[in-house]
Each structure stands twice: as structure tokens, then as C-alpha cells.
Structure 1
Amino acid sequence: MFRKIGRAAAMAALLTLALSGCAGGTSDPAAPPSDPGDGYGMTAEGAQLMVADHELGEIVVDAEGMTVYMFDSDTQGAGESTCEGQCATNWPAVTTDGDPVAGDGVTGELGTITGVDGATQVTLNGWPLYYFAGDSAAGDVAGQGVNDVWWVLSPAGERMAQ
């Protein structure tokens, strides 16, 4: 019986490591909830960002209600992402085929950069934006505060630390 409990605890620890992202750099990949390149969160014009009410306050989400995040290792306004390799697997970039569109309430400046994979990545207030592979439904914020480097954003594009 203790062997089964030990195995379950080990599996839970491995799952936690797989979803934790870039801080360790050696975690197993976690599949994103949707392929960001398949039009996920996009309108005909491009990626759309909106405001959602959450217990954290007003946060920025895409058109499907999926939370978007910023990464402390990025430099605001630098025009580049630092999330690549395993990090990009766990934290897929918010991409667009057109100009990003701000929905009601989004007051931060929208822009784009060329992401690490060559796709057009959306920025808010100079921060490259990402999804979290551990979020599976609209309104999930499982990525908030992961490794004290991943944060949801306010409608003005400001980091919302815990």
C-alpha cells in the first residue's frame, strides 16, 4: 500500500515540475490547451485581447477567455522574447496573423514583435504575451506567480503580482 502512495506522490511531483516552466529549464513538456497557430483567440483582424473580471481583479484574456501572461525575464519594450525551448513549450506565445485588436477596457498599448519561432507575437504595454499550458479553460490562472516570474496583466498592461 505504501508503495502505491509513494508512486502517486512521485507522479504528482513530476506533473508539478512539468507545468512549472522556465525556472528550472529541465521539466517535461506539457501540451498547450490549443495550438496558438490555429486561430485560437483571433478575429479576422488578428488576435483580440479583452478584459475579464476575476478574483485577482480585471485581467487580460484573449477572445476565447484564455488568460495571457508576461514573463519577468523579458525586458519591457525590448522588442524580443526570452522564452524559448522548453519554456516556449510550457508558455506558448500569443501570436497573430494581423494587427492585434483591443477589446473594451484594454487600455495598454498593443503591438507585435517577431517571436523566437519567427511568428508574430503580440505585446501589451511592451510585454511579450504568452499562454500557460496548464490553463485548460477560460478564466484559468494556473500560471499566475509560477516560479515568481509569470504574471497576469492588468488592462493597462501592468504586471499583477500576488
Structure 2
Amino acid sequence: MSTKLASILAASTLVIAGLSGCGSSDGGGGYGAPASDGASDSAESSGTESGGTDAAAGAGTLSTAETDLGEIIVDGNGMTVYQFAKDTQGADKSACEGDCAAKWPAVPGGDQVKLDGVTGDLATITGVDGKPQLTLDGWPLYYFAGDSAAGETKGQGLMDAWWVLSPEAKPIK
């Protein structure tokens, strides 16, 4: 078997394994095939640089980045943040639990988070892991485990439930 074919098979296996996670049986659901055209190109960050994907380090600032979807909210490392349509605005807990939470990690909350070019009210709830989860205008924020580089938006539109946010904290659909 050629190296190229083996690489394609390995990547396909990872994609299939990822798509099978976070099913709706756990009540969190929302992970599946994109409902949009799948725009997921990297972004040029406005005022931020990618310093890796350490979520805890990047959550200190929410700023904006320009993508194929328009201007969206990213963390201090340029990683895209998402809103989950199954959450309830202002609720004290996330609707993303179990396998869902593994595919959609919570954006860590804290008192030191700053907004740069983003409007909305910041707060925290207790995430499913017991740690503070950042909320914006009452909506819990998440990362997508499938985004591996700053500005990627591979989670956009998945299951018609996961959305990137505009600088005004509104979902972009």
C-alpha cells in the first residue's frame, strides 16, 4: 500500500470516528455534517497572533478575525468560538454534555477576560467539567475540537446548531 493511500485511509478513519461522536442520545448532540457550504479557511487575525491552541491561555481576550464568513469572534490565540443553538440564553448550565463536551470544549471563564472589538456582556457559568465556562450575552461559548489552527471555522453550521459569532455576539448563519 502506498504511503499516500495509507495517509488518506488514516485521515478518513479519523473523520468517521469524529463524526460518530457527540450524538443526540446524550442530550447534548449537535455534532455532524455541516449545514453550510463548509467555509473553513484560516483567518487573518485582527490584532492577535496564534500562540498555539492552549484554550486556557487564549481565553483571556475575545477579539475579532476576518474569515470567509465575515468578521467573527476569536480568542486571544485566534481560535474561533461558537454558540450552541440548544443552549438557553441566561441558563446556568450548558446543554452540551458527554461526548458533545469532548468535541465542543467550553471556553474557560474568568474575571480577567477582556473584550477587544467585541460587544456584549461577559459572565461565567459552571461548565459540565465543574470549571468556569465563559458566556457572552448569556450564551455559553465553545471551541470545536476539529479546528486546529487560528481562524478555522470547521464547526460552522454543524447539525444546524453550531454557529460562529459576529462582533456584536450574534450567530452568523
* TM category, shorter: 0.7 to 0.9
Aligned length: 145
8 Å contact from structure 1 (residues 19, 133) kept in 2: no
What is the TM-score normalised by the length of structure 2?
Answer: 0.72
1:61 aligned partner: 74
Find out whether 1:107 has 2:106 as its counterpart: no
Counterpart residue type for residue 123 of structure 2:
G
Distance 1:18 1:35 in 2: 23
**Shift in CA distance, 146/18, structure 1 to aligned 2, threshold 3 Å:** farther
- Measure how far apart 1:13 and its partner are: 5.3
Q: Is the 8 A contact 2:109 2:135 kept in 1?
A: no
What 5-or-longer segments of structure 1 have no aligned partner?
A: 28-32
Q: Give the distance between the partners of 2:112 and 2:54, measured in 1 at CA.
A: 19
Write the distance in 1 (CA, Å) between the matches of 2:106 and 2:87.
13
Q: Secondary structure at the match of 1:19?
A: helix
- What does residue range 21-100 of structure 1 map to in structure 2 within 5 Å? 22-24=22-24, 34=53, 36=55, 39-42=56-59, 47-100=60-113
* 1:117 aligns to 2:116 (yes or no): no
Q: Find the residue that maps to 1:147 and give its secondary structure.
A: coil
Unaligned 5+ segments in structure 2 are 30-51
Name the SS for the 1:88 alignment partner: helix
- 1:25 & 1:68 partners in 2: Cα distance? 24
Q: Is the 8 A contact 1:92 1:131 kept in 2?
A: yes
- TM-superposed CA distance for 1:34, in Å, is 4.2
% identical aligned pairs: 53
Shift of 1:19: 3.1
Which residue identity does 1:152 align to in structure 2? V
RMSD of Structure 2 on Structure 1 (CA): 2.7
